Amino acid sequence: MCSDSEKNMSAFADQNHAPNLTCVRLEYKAKVYHLYTYRLKIINILCEKMHNY
C-alpha cells in the first residue's frame, strides 16, 4: 500500500509527464491540417504541369 507522500508524488509525476488531452487533440488537428495543405499543394503543382504540357 502506498503512503500519502508516495501517492502525491505519483500524481505529481503523472501530471507533469502525461500529455494533456487538449494538447494531443490540437497536435492531431495540426498534423491533419498539414497533410491536407500538403496534398493541396501537390494537386496544384500537378494541375499546373498538366496545363503547361
Contact 10, 2 (CB under 8 A): yes
Instruction: Express each pLDDT in 11-40 by its tens digit.
Output: 555 555 666 777 778 888 889 999 999 999
Q: If pLDDT is split at 50, 70 and 90, which confidence band does 5 have?
A: low
* Rounded Cα–Cα distance for residues 39 and 29 (Å): 15
Indicate the burial class of 23 (C-beta count within 10 angstroms; 0-12, 13-18, 19 or more). Answer: exposed
Q: What cell does 29 get?
A: 488537428
State pTM to two decimals: 0.48
